[in-house]
Amino acid sequence: MVVDDEPAIREAVSFALRSEGFDVTEHEDGESALAGLGDGAHDVLILDQMLPRLSGVEVCRRIRSTSDIPIIILTARDAEVDRVLGLEAGADDYVTKPFSMAELVSRVRAILRRRELDRRSQDAAVRVGTLQLDRNRHVVTVGGAPVEVTPSEFRLLSLLAAEPGRVYSRREIVQHLWRSDFVGDERTADFHIANLRRKLGEEAIETVRGVGYKLTEL
């Protein structure tokens, strides 16, 4: 599903995806997009952040209350706060306008590959100190208390928890999130890390200056 109130952008994105063999539905506002997602027939949502009436961030929040569909936010703004808002609301990644259609299509393919691999994953629960991840049920708890995380945050936490104490670079994190060697903006990793720290505690993930991030025991 492609949601953008600018016809030229919406049609160009849809054309690029259809040319690559994807089935695409189009919407110009958040209300119709939410209604269209009700049938559960979509695999990826490409969502403009600046929509009339109901913003893309609010649409994202509402979708995340009922669905884990992968969401790519399109934003005309290059301010960090706007990217953070989208990711905090549950988006998996963002693309800043103007953007390359080839890049966007590559990200859609990567997210679909990742989705399929996630469905096949049958890994058991992982525990690091008081932090526990149930990969089969996508549940995170700290000291037995549930912590609500987005699908991308869960994947990132799973990576860090696989080898506690190991330092992962931004590039490794982004490649893991997309299950692809293709890497867009590596700062996406920083935003997801910041969101996890807010939920788990600042001490949960340590920054190793000039290298990357590692998980510490809670």
Mean of pLDDT over the chain:
86
Mean pLDDT to the nearest integer, 15-44 = 93
Query: Residue 175 corresponds to which amino acid?
Result: Q
Long-range contacts of 166-172 (CB under 8 A, 24+ apart): 166/214, 167/208, 167/211, 167/212, 167/213, 167/214, 168/212, 168/213, 168/214, 169/211, 169/212, 170/212, 172/212
Mean pLDDT to the nearest integer, 129-148 = 89
**Alpha carbon distances (Å) from 5 to 10, 42, 50:** 7, 19, 8
User: Which part of the chain has CATH 3.40.50.2300?
Assistant: 2-118
Mean pLDDT to the nearest integer, 22-47 = 93
The answer to pTM > 0.85 is: no
CATH 1.10.10.10 fits 122-215, yes or no: yes
Mean pLDDT to the nearest integer, 166-177 = 87
- CA angle centred on 38, ends 153 and 9, rounded to 5°: 75
Percentage of the chain surpassing pLDDT 90? 43
At 34 the pLDDT is 94
Query: Parallel, antiparallel, or unpaired for β 2-3 and 45-48?
Result: parallel
Structure tokens at 40: 């559960």
User: Which part of the chain has CATH 1.10.10.10?
Assistant: 122-215
Architecture category of domain 2-118 in CATH: 3-Layer(aba) Sandwich (3.40)
